[in-house]
Structure 1
Amino acid sequence: MSQIQLLPAVEKFLSQPGRLFIGGTWQDAAGGRRFAVENPASESSVAEVAEGDERDVDAAVAAARAAFTGPWAQHSPAQRGLLLFRLAELLDQHREELAQLITLENGKPIANARGEAASAANIIRYFAGWPTKIEGSTHPVSPASGAPMLNYTVREPVGVCALIVPWNFPLTMCVWKLGPVLATGCVAVLKPAEQTPLVAIRLVQLIEAAGFPAGVVNLVTGLGAHTGAPLAGHADVDKIAFTGSTQVGRLIAQAATGNMKKVSLELGGKSPNIILPDADIVRAAKGAADGIFYNQGQVCTAGSRLYVHASVLDQVLEELQRHAAAHVLGPGLDPANSMGPLVSARQLGSVRGYLQRGQEEGAELICGGDRPAHLERGHFIQPSVFLDRAERACVAREEIFGPVLTVMSWTEVDELVLRANDSPYGLAAGLWTRDLRSAHRVAAQLKAGSVWINCWNVVDPASPFGGYKQSGWGREMSKNVIDAYTETKSVFVDLA
């Protein structure tokens, strides 16, 4: 099957240079610089966008502050909800357009990009219901004076929020953060990853079309050092929300100490996936394969450590090889392909380095391990499986962010849990079993923010998402995230 034809709207969008959006105005970067956006499947440039710097960050933060204290503050909760519902409808109407942009700049198969675009509308629709439900409370206080007192609390928006999002789910990560920002009455400066700015630009165009006041959402595209860093440390930013690597998360947290801004971090993972001997092995092996090969393994929750009971190890390895071999690698715009490229040459180099080091450190390569021979261009890598009996190789310990699975065997449950938890990360974990008692017992002992039983990577806007340990601070989604974007004010009234 040949590649799908780009929509005329997408071709028109790509023909126009991407610009910054500050204070309701589309504009070039202050320094006049631009950078190219690459299609990772062809290694060719598909568009150029503005390369912002500290001056643009300052202007965007000032515009956000003006909107927060001005027109946006006059919008009632019901009006905010109506605007979010309108945005969700626009996302639905432009779903195919958004999906094509995602695949062009990220590389993922078009079917996965369409799913991401559909999910984005649902997430915004979920948060559209929140503005009228952010409530305070009254408290039966007992002051020492004995005077009658009324005490109540109100929830107020934090203020100017810096949103720094990654490239692996370039639309989803934007709406995960913009949803609660807009629902609570905050304002935003959005900084997308330099690898995937296009769908963020189109999203902000739809936000403008939905009727949000100028300055409520501002967009600054550019490189991390020149835009992300000054945004994280900006003295007039009240909160920063970041999704990305744990290494960069540490830098974000340090930068936030200048004015003690609120911080939420969704960081890396090395998630354990466990197959108990009584599991449906065919189903579990497929779930394990999908858990690591989906999105080319470029998922923070990727099930990259697979613990298989020794009694079913050979059967699971055979199934994993079958699933890896079934993947068809190629450009994501061809619907026949089930696995696209990695996002960049740098990411490809990193994954290939892990594949080489894993073998040097004693892990047994079961399948994959290199670039596919039939693809001369593009940042493609074969889905790969290691068996590491000693569990000491780097591929069993470090986050790879590629389609690389490391399998280990086990025999005793208590030892298994210790091994599964022996990681600086704690983002996700999973297990496969037919025994309900075993499922709950093991799940209770796993140190992870999400635990999936007989499934993997199930995420819903009504359920909190985040990690233990070095996988992050705070939670995305659900009612939990509303706390991250609001301040609680306690008010005492003397009734004497």
Structure 2
Amino acid sequence: MKKYQLFIDGEFVDPASGQWIDTVDPYRGEAWAQIPRGNAQDVDRAVAAAARAMRQSTWTDMTATARGKLMRRLGDLVAREAERLADIEVRDNGKLKQEMLGQLRYHSEWWWYYGGLADKLEGAVTPIDKPEIFAFTRHEPVGVVGAMTAWNSPLLFVAFKCAPAIAAGCAVVVKPSEFASASTLEFAALTREAGFPPGIFNVVAGYGTEAGSALVEHPDVAKITFTGSDTTGAKIYATAAKTMKRVSLELGGKSPNIVFDDCDLDAAVAGAISGIFAATGQTCIAGSRLLVQNSIREAFTKRLIETAKMARIGDPMDPATNIGPVTTPAQYQKVLDYIEIANSEGARCVLGGGPASGLPGGQFVEPTIFVDVAPKMRIAQEEVFGPVLSVLGFEDEAEAVAIGNDVIYGLAAGVWTRDIGRALRMSKALKAGTVWVNTYRAISYMMPFGGMKYSGLGRENGIEAIREFLETKSVWVSTAVGAPANPFVMR
């Protein structure tokens, strides 16, 4: 098994604990590598290195244009290593090779895009209403950033968080999930090859209760950006407030995927399948609530079931596989528990409903569809994070909006209709950070991503994301000559 080290101040180093954690291949059900068990002492070292790097002339004297060139060089290296990194992520989290390779081939775009944006963070001269004053604004990096990523798309989240942070001039300390740290540690070597100064990019792997908590509590960390559950996000938010840290939180979802009777049926069925069974349902944007207009609900559900039955479960490295394993034992049990909850609440299972047998590893769940689901059932309110779909009916736009918004989350939503007016009305009425119309599960480095309500704070991607890592400073310069103004009166 490969034994990884922490990446601190430009070097790979052993953890202070002298301990490692086995990382398990979810498909085979066996350990394939060891990641370092970082703790508060390692976080201290990494944060100190990041803070020092931000003070040193190699970074402070580097122009934003030069910083952008480093980032674009890193993007080139990721493009070169995309397949190797994708293979590592499949071993770590069990997602499909096709999915992870697509993400890694796209990953470079974040470094190219934000590398190009780095020298375009312009301040502004304000035509101030005060006489004999020259006033302008400038943007400065917020400071050391703690970036905490989830296990379902580790390097994609590194791109989401670290590319805009570094473009803004920040240094980062990444705490990847203990269930999927290997690819981030492999990526760290590419930052060194690209020429990043030591300390600008650091990785401290380990448990959330040890390394993660220490990063959130550290007084020299200026901002935390986190992807994960709303429960953990709320704890981070509360802890960060004690030291006045800025926070960005990309949390859970219970997204409505809404099908109207005037839709393109083939496209809507494919969109419903993509929304819940892609990535084995282990995605915060999963369209886990399928709302279908009553006039077509029975026929649509029948077509949906027929299509879902064709999904092939198996080896995530096999191009023919559609659904891979659930990543962790705890998540696997959680998905099965929710299936039991749905049955006990009176929902009717029309497909799947249990473990998929005859496969290695023992963490496979059948694609599962429930009908006769009431909006207030737990299966329709709580995030399952697995291949479990709830089908609900509605009569008209007003009822679709009411049901769609009747959860604590607001990350994403889908709308399937040929009526452009309806599409625009629905996109306005739905309380979600992203609304897809006649498509689903599309992302871009150009398009802001984030949630409303319990789905989080702040935005990732697009120009808006870089503002999350900047402070705006106002500068007032007096051009007055002669006697000073009255010092006892506000200027």
TM interval, shorter chain, is over 0.9
| Equivalent in the alignment of 1:119 | 106
| Equivalent in the alignment of 1:20 | 6
1:68 aligned onto 2:54: yes
Mapping for residues 93-108 of structure 1, pairs under 5 Å: 93-108=80-95
In the aligned structure 2, how far is the partner of 1:377 from the partner of 1:22?
Answer: 34
1:452 aligned onto 2:436: yes
Q: What whole-Å deviation, never above 9, does each CA across 1:376-397 have from its counterpart, x for those lacking one?
A: 5331111111113432321111
1:164 aligned onto 2:151: no
Contact 2:373 2:390 in 1 (8 A): no
Mapping for residues 228-247 of structure 1, pairs under 5 Å: 228-247=212-231
| Equivalent in the alignment of 2:486 | none
Structure 1 SS opposite 2:243: coil
Equivalent position to 1:412, from 388, 396, 404: 396
Structure 2 SS opposite 1:444: helix
Equivalent position to 1:45, from 31, 40, 44: 31
Give the CA deviation at 1:313: 0.8
The runs of at least 4 consecutive aligned structure 1 residues that moved more than 4 Å come to none
In the aligned structure 2, how far is the partner of 1:251 from the partner of 1:395?
Answer: 24
Structure 2 SS opposite 1:256: helix
1:92 aligned onto 2:76: no
Letter in 2 for 1:465: F
Contact 1:286 1:319 in 2 (8 A): no
Q: What whole-Å deviation, never above 9, does each CA across 1:344-389 have from its counterpart, x for those lacking one?
A: 1111000000001101101110101111122253311111111134
Mapping for residues 252-291 of structure 1, pairs under 5 Å: 252-291=236-275
1:55 aligned onto 2:41: yes
| Equivalent in the alignment of 1:5 | none
| Equivalent in the alignment of 2:485 | none
Contact 2:255 2:287 in 1 (8 A): yes
| Equivalent in the alignment of 2:282 | 298
**Higher deviation after alignment, 120-129 or 36-45:** 120-129
TM-score (norm 1): 0.95
In the aligned structure 1, how far is the partner of 2:431 from the partner of 2:170?
Answer: 32
1:141 aligned onto 2:128: yes
Letter in 1 for 2:369: V
Equivalent position to 1:208, from 188, 192, 210: 192
Contact 2:8 2:46 in 1 (8 A): yes
**Higher deviation after alignment, 383-392 or 29-38:** 383-392
Structure 1 SS opposite 2:309: helix
In the aligned structure 2, how far is the partner of 1:105 from the partner of 1:325?
Answer: 27
Q: What whole-Å deviation, never above 9, does each CA across 1:434-481 have from its counterpart, x for those lacking one?
A: 111111111111111000000011111111111111111110011101
Q: What whole-Å deviation, never above 9, does each CA across 1:73-113 have from its counterpart, x for those lacking one?
A: 12111111110111011001111101100111110111111
Give the CA deviation at 1:430: 1.1
| Equivalent in the alignment of 1:488 | 472
Letter in 2 for 1:215: G
Give the CA deviation at 1:286: 1.2
**Higher deviation after alignment, 388-397 or 224-233:** 388-397
Equivalent position to 1:314, from 285, 298, 320: 298
Structure 2 SS opposite 1:130: helix
Letter in 2 for 1:91: V
Structure 2 SS opposite 1:154: strand
Structure 1 SS opposite 2:346: coil
In the aligned structure 2, how far is the partner of 1:179 from the partner of 1:376?
Answer: 37
In the aligned structure 2, how far is the partner of 1:261 from the partner of 1:243?
Answer: 16
Contact 1:430 1:456 in 2 (8 A): yes
| Equivalent in the alignment of 1:382 | 366
In the aligned structure 2, how far is the partner of 1:389 from the partner of 1:17?
Answer: 47
| Equivalent in the alignment of 1:195 | 179
Give the CA deviation at 1:327: 1.1
Structure 1 SS opposite 2:462: coil
In the aligned structure 2, how far is the partner of 1:205 from the partner of 1:411?
Answer: 55
| Equivalent in the alignment of 1:464 | 448
Contact 2:2 2:32 in 1 (8 A): no
| Equivalent in the alignment of 1:11 | none
In the aligned structure 1, how far is the partner of 2:353 from the partner of 2:62?
Answer: 55
Letter in 2 for 1:354: Y
**Higher deviation after alignment, 296-305 or 115-124:** 115-124
Contact 2:375 2:403 in 1 (8 A): no
Letter in 2 for 1:33: Q
1:32 aligned onto 2:18: yes
Where structure 1 has 5 or more consecutive residues not aligned to the other structure, the ranges are 1-14
In the aligned structure 1, how far is the partner of 2:223 from the partner of 2:359?
Answer: 44
In the aligned structure 1, how far is the partner of 2:180 from the partner of 2:187?
Answer: 12
Letter in 2 for 1:32: G
Matched residue count: 479
Contact 1:388 1:396 in 2 (8 A): no
Contact 1:40 1:343 in 2 (8 A): yes
Letter in 2 for 1:24: G
In the aligned structure 2, how far is the partner of 1:26 from the partner of 1:389?
Answer: 51
1:346 aligned onto 2:330: yes
RMSD of the TM alignment (CA)? 1.0
Percent identical across equivalent pairs? 39
Contact 2:355 2:364 in 1 (8 A): yes
Equivalent position to 1:425, from 389, 409, 415: 409
